[in-house]
Each structure stands twice: as structure tokens, then as C-alpha cells.
Amino acid sequence: MAIALMKLPYPQDALTPHISAKTLEFHYGKHHAGYVEKLNGLIKGTEMEQESLEGIITQTAKDVSKSTIFNNVAQVWNHSFYWQCMKPDGGGSPAGAIGDKINADFGGYDRFVEQFKSAALSQFGSGWGWLVLKEKKLEIMKTSNADTPIAHGLKPLLTVDVWEHAYYLDYQNKRADYLNIFIKNLVNWDFVDSRLA
């Protein structure tokens, strides 16, 4: 059974003006779709063809001989997760359980934002910024290239993609501007809250 490219949870122009339809056309339609196509080619005819994305990640994460499969499957999973972390008219300070948990574990929303932006901004080269649950406590982490918290036994709650293809058409080299917009206008706190539950 082939891995399918997930359907975006909104139209390609839904995140404008913060992320343009042109960026989504390339990011989702070329990059994400390309990882799916490559992954399907790599696992065709193997036992992994019947596995979930998470199952393939677990099987390949620590096997250097399967690094090409891991890089593609992790990028498929990371991107599918990233799309759900955003919504039109998102962002801002969250309410509900996730808001309470952020206040308890970071000492307030502003301190969370500061740490989340710092991790994503300081990720050298390509990678991801994450909010994860580790032993019932919220933590910020960053991963390089295709690496994902799932490979480390952690539960991802929120991610921001800091590969240049995620923002370069709209923000050029201004990663900090992209991160500010992501946090203020795009984060889908309802999705993050559902992951916490």
C-alpha cells in the first residue's frame, strides 16, 4: 500500500498574506509531494510498504544503511504535521489546557515564545523547531535536516519548518520575520491542544 500525500487542511491561498499561495504551491506541491514519491519508490516491494509513517521512522531512525529512507519518511511526516500546525487567523496566546500547560512549564506565554523562536532561529542550516511533550513536561527542541522528535521517543505538539523553502519566496533570508508571523498569525492552537490531550 503506497504512502499518500496528505490533503492540505485548507486551500493553498488560505494563509495569505502570511504565507503565499506560491510558497505552498512549491513547498507542498513540489517538496512534500517529492518526498512522498521518493519514499514510495524506496519502500516498494519491501515489508515497509505495509507500515505507517511512524513505523517506518522507528525502523530506520538508527540504521545508517537506511538513512535515505529515514530522511524521506521523516520529511513526509514532518511536513504533514507542519500543515496541521497552521490555520488562517491562528496564532496569539492560547487558551485551554495548552495555555495552562505553557504557563505552568515555561512561566508564561512570552517566555515560551522567546524560547521557541530562539531554538528555530538558531537552528543552523535546514531543520525544524518543536514544542514536544517529554515525560509529561513541555520542552522546546530543534532538529536538523529531516530529524524528528518521534525518532527520539518524544511526542510532538507543534512544529515550525525552518528549511529555506518554507519561507524564502515570502521572506527571503529573514527567518526571524517568518517566525514572528508564524507565532502571531498562524499557529493552530486547537490542533496543538488536541495533541496534548
Walking along the chain (197 residues) 10 residues at a time, the average pLDDT comes out as 92 98 98 98 95 96 96 98 98 96 98 98 97 97 98 97 96 97 98 95
- In this prediction, residue 2 carries a pLDDT of 85
pLDDT score of 143: 98
Whether residue 165 is contained in a domain is answered as yes
Q: Would you say 78 and 161 are in contact if contact means Cβ atoms under 8 Å apart?
A: yes
* Buried b or exposed e, range 137-152, using 16+ CB within 10 angstroms: ebbbbbbeebbbbbbe
Q: Are residues 107 and 138 in the same domain?
A: yes
Beta bridge partners, 138, equal: 133
Distances (CA, A) of 166 to 1, 19, 40: 29, 9, 23
Name which of 114, 109, 108, 102 is nearest 139 in CA terms.
102
The count of structural domains within the chain is 2
Q: Are 75 and 154 within one domain?
A: no
Which of 79, 80, 113 lies closest to 94, judged by CA?
A: 113
pLDDT at residue 60, as a whole number? 97
Query: Among the residues of the chain, which ranges form H helices?
Result: 21-26, 33-43, 53-60, 67-84, 96-106, 109-122, 168-171, 175-181, 189-196
How many residues are listed for the chain in this entry? 197
Q: What is the pLDDT of residue 4?
A: 95
Both 100 and 80 in one domain: the answer is no
Find the domain containing 42 and state its range.
21-84
SS3 at position 131: strand
Do the domain assignments include residue 50?
yes
> Under a CB-based contact definition with an 8 Å cutoff, are residues 196 and 158 in contact?
no
Domain end call among 84, 108, 139 = 84
Q: Distances from the Cα of 106 to the Cαs of 77, 86, 97, 112, 144, in angstroms?
A: 27, 22, 14, 6, 24
